[in-house]
Structure 1
Amino acid sequence: MKKELVSFEGVHCANCGAPMQGEFCHECGQSIHSVLRPMHHMVEDTLDMVLHIDGRIFNTLPPLLYRPGFLTMEYFSGRRQRYVAPFRLMFVLCLLSFFVTRIAIDNIGFADTNLEASAGTGDFARDTTPEAVRARFETMRKDIDKAADSAEHGKKTIRKLISVERDHANHRLEQLGAAPLPVQTEDGWDFHQNKFEASWLPSSMVRSINRSIEHMGVNLRGATAGGEEGAAAQERILAGVFGVLAQTMFVVMPLFALLLKLMYVFKRRLYMEHLIVALHSHAFIFLALLLGVLVGGLRSWLVPHAAWTSTPLLLVIWALGVWVPIYLLIMQKQVYRQGWFMTTVKYLFVGWVYCWLIGIALSIAALLGLAH
């Protein structure tokens, strides 16, 4: 391969005027390369700056998956250039795993919605005008309410029956080119009348809390209604949950590192070292989640065409699930270099506390998702 010899003799920095000794100015740090380049170079630079996905990813992912603690010990030893930085690695894998998981959940929900929507228009197929459809639906709704009162059915069953008939009516109204039926409000807590009041809080914050509470009520009623209304509410909730899930993980991360610091306080390690352990641990968890979801999607696609692939792919998913706790235990042993007994005791305690942290984080994400 022909090598190009580049000389910087006589070249000065365009920013500070210092003589250039390389591609970057040793005085101000500005690059010698111009930013006025074709658009595809700008896109490449942007992706490299945000994701930094280059050849180092191939040196990073394999040991991250099957060599517990290796990347962390390499980082501590100063051998960092060959590998993706811990925070960037965790950040990219977190986004990818949540993105793929969201797509998988959406596909499952889409299939369920199509299954429910395939019921057709029912008795409303005989109606030739929107007024007749609406009148028939109102009659059916009253009949269902009366039958439910006499048979003492639960409210959830009533809502499900009415929701199915509403879907049929809306399908027929869509065929007739008319507007759909309005969403029925349920009895119970009135989120419009029962508002949160706190004189010691700013009025703008009180209004924001009341809007969130109202959204929670609408989403909860919709999610339990079933049919297309329920699917739409579930979609809103999922969008809200996944919208805040990554942020909640970034709050859990430093808390997990602090927990490691307390558990190994006599090791006299810096907090940053524990944070790197936390970053690599979560990067592995997100990688395992990403692979599990991808294998699950591959299984769903292959099984209808090759049924024999079902068991092997299912075993791969189970193997990933079993490997996660074993990997984290071995990693803790490799990094902190204590005996197996003390490592296991601390591992179980850290895991117990971490489960509570994750539970709280997921609960907060769920509440914020309901308020979306």
Structure 2
Amino acid sequence: MTDLFPPRPTLPPQPTPPLGTSEAPQPQPRRRWWQRAVVNSRKTPDRPCLNCGDETVGHFCPQCGQRKADVRVSLRRMLMEVMEDQLSVNSALPRTLWALVFRPGHLTREYVQGRIVRYIPPFRLYLVSSLLFFVVLPFIADPGELQREVEEGIRADSVREATAGPGAVRDSSIRAGGRNVGVRVQRGDNNNIDLNMGVKDTLKVPGPLRPLNRRLLAGEKRLNSLPPGEAIRTLTETFEENAPTGVFFMMPLFAFILKLLYSRRKRFYVEHFVFALHVHAFAFLMFTLMMVLRAGWLNAAMGAWFVIALYIAMKRVYGQGWFRTLLKFVILGWAYLFILMVGVMVTSVLTVLSV
């Protein structure tokens, strides 16, 4: 009987699930449309390298270093992957934008405390927001439209001079669509129109500045050789090209002012620079929305919120009292306003030199 019925093989004991759980697979959370790029990734770690044929499993080939990925993909799929790689378009983008706009100082505090991966990095956030601003800016301040408005203003001055008598419009500011473009028009003896950008005679400036002044006079002469409308358009386009560089170089000065104001807090300069990156990213985002919306009361509200948010961010990041933070906020505002004016002057000089 024992031979007819052999003993059954004993199976290893199965682990019992914890109380309150089920052995059925748990449903996966539904992914949003901006998170599908992670699922539809074109990474092929199990396939051989398409460049050298190495069969080692991995995302990169250990022989030639090429990334293992499909190259024949749709444009939508490629764009989604670029957004995922460059902007962290999963939950990081909405979380970062919400904190940037409605939680002043939160991003800087999280970065300093080491919680980095859940948000877009500060430098990348600044680059994207500034790029968005300077991409939208030419559509709002269109140099071609400005050129047409300037030419119409000059023709109106010519008609007014013809009706009022010769020499009635000898020196006036060019206005385009009600906006003063900051350049004055002068009529010479031969009735030509020249642009006066305030460049002094070389003999009236100090000796070390005379080479620079001669180059400015040469740039003004080149602009006066063009029609006034075209000269204004050239100045506007060149200034818009130089503005991103000027703002980028003013940002370390913003962080340096914070370093001086909070010298007793024993913080590294990098912490102030990260705060400056977040502040400028917030400013570019607000200014972009203000340019696009063009709503008077809404723009005023966003401008007021920017000032209030900067004050709250300083209070949260540096942890000082309300009155002391207010005092340093005012000092920071006046100091950076002076730096901004100097930056605009330097950018204007570089604009004239590069036309």
Q: Shared topology, TM-score over 0.5?
A: yes
Which stretch shows the higher mean deviation, 329-338 or 86-95? 86-95
Match in the other structure for 2:255? 257
CA distance in 1, matches of 2:296, 2:193: 43
Give the 3 Å change call, closer, same or farther, for CA 68–15 of structure 1 in structure 2. Answer: farther
Q: Give the TM-score normalised by structure 2.
A: 0.66
1:81 maps to a residue whose letter is: V
Match in the other structure for 2:171? 156
CA distance in 2, matches of 1:65, 1:320: 10
Structure 2 residue runs of 5 or longer lacking an equivalent are 1-27, 29-38, 176-189
User: Contact 2:243–2:347 at 8 Å: present in 1 too?
Assistant: yes
Which stretch shows the higher mean deviation, 208-217 or 38-47? 38-47
CA offset at residue 32 of structure 1? 2.9
CA distance in 1, matches of 2:345, 2:106: 33
2:146 maps to 1:109: yes
2:283 maps to a residue whose letter is: I
Give the 3 Å change call, closer, same or farther, for CA 8–53 of structure 1 in structure 2. Answer: closer
Query: Paired residue for 1:278, among 258, 276, 279?
Result: 276
CA distance in 1, matches of 2:141, 2:224: 19
Match in the other structure for 2:307? 325
User: Contact 1:16–1:28 at 8 Å: present in 2 too?
Assistant: no
User: Contact 1:18–1:27 at 8 Å: present in 2 too?
Assistant: no
Give the 3 Å change call, closer, same or farther, for CA 230–344 of structure 1 in structure 2. Answer: same
1:156 maps to a residue whose letter is: D
CA offset at residue 338 of structure 1? 0.7
CA distance in 2, matches of 1:50, 1:7: 17
1:250 maps to a residue whose letter is: F
Say which one has the larger Rg: 2
Give the 3 Å change call, closer, same or farther, for CA 38–314 of structure 1 in structure 2. Answer: same
CA distance in 2, matches of 1:326, 1:105: 27
Match in the other structure for 1:87? 123
> How many residue pairs get matched?
295
Query: Paired residue for 1:350, among 332, 335, 347?
Result: 332
Structure with greater strand share of residues: 2
Cα deviation 1:61-89 (Å, max 9, x = unaligned): 12211210111122222222232111111
Cα deviation 1:3-37 (Å, max 9, x = unaligned): 99x996797897897954x4246899753336x54
Query: What aligned pairs does 1:119-158 form with structure 2 within 5 A after superposition?
Result: 147-148=166-167, 153=168, 155-156=170-171
2:118 maps to 1:52: no
User: Contact 1:239–1:369 at 8 Å: present in 2 too?
Assistant: no
Which stretch shows the higher mean deviation, 25-34 or 211-220? 25-34
User: Contact 1:195–1:210 at 8 Å: present in 2 too?
Assistant: no
2:314 maps to a residue whose letter is: Q
CA offset at residue 199 of structure 1? 12
CA distance in 2, matches of 1:262, 1:16: 58
Cα deviation 1:111-140 (Å, max 9, x = unaligned): 735865998xx9xxxxxxxxxxxxxxxxxx
Match in the other structure for 1:363? 345
Give the 3 Å change call, closer, same or farther, for CA 214–347 of structure 1 in structure 2. Answer: same
CA offset at residue 52 of structure 1? 3.0
CA offset at residue 265 of structure 1? 1.8
Give the 3 Å change call, closer, same or farther, for CA 242–40 of structure 1 in structure 2. Answer: same
Percent of pairs with identical residues: 26
User: Contact 2:47–2:55 at 8 Å: present in 1 too?
Assistant: no
Match in the other structure for 1:268? 266
CA offset at residue 106 of structure 1? 1.3
Structure 1 residue runs of 5 or longer lacking an equivalent are 123-140, 161-181, 223-228, 297-312
Structure with greater helix share of residues: 1
Query: Paired residue for 1:236, among 228, 234, 237?
Result: 234
CA offset at residue 217 of structure 1? 3.7
CA distance in 2, matches of 1:290, 1:67: 19
CA offset at residue 240 of structure 1? 1.3
User: Contact 2:150–2:229 at 8 Å: present in 1 too?
Assistant: yes
Give the 3 Å change call, closer, same or farther, for CA 269–9 of structure 1 in structure 2. Answer: same
Cα deviation 1:131-174 (Å, max 9, x = unaligned): xxxxxxxxxx9x899832xxxx35226999xxxxxxxxxxxxxx
Give the 3 Å change call, closer, same or farther, for CA 37–154 of structure 1 in structure 2. Answer: same
1:68 maps to a residue whose letter is: P
Match in the other structure for 1:164? none
Give the 3 Å change call, closer, same or farther, for CA 200–38 of structure 1 in structure 2. Answer: farther
* Structure of greater relative contact order (alpha carbons < 8 Å, 6+ residues apart): 1
User: Contact 2:193–2:228 at 8 Å: present in 1 too?
Assistant: no
CA offset at residue 261 of structure 1? 1.5
- 3-state SS of 1:147 partner: coil
Query: What aligned pairs does 1:69-80 form with structure 2 within 5 A after superposition?
Result: 69-80=105-116
2:305 maps to a residue whose letter is: W
Match in the other structure for 1:172? none
User: Contact 1:144–1:158 at 8 Å: present in 2 too?
Assistant: no
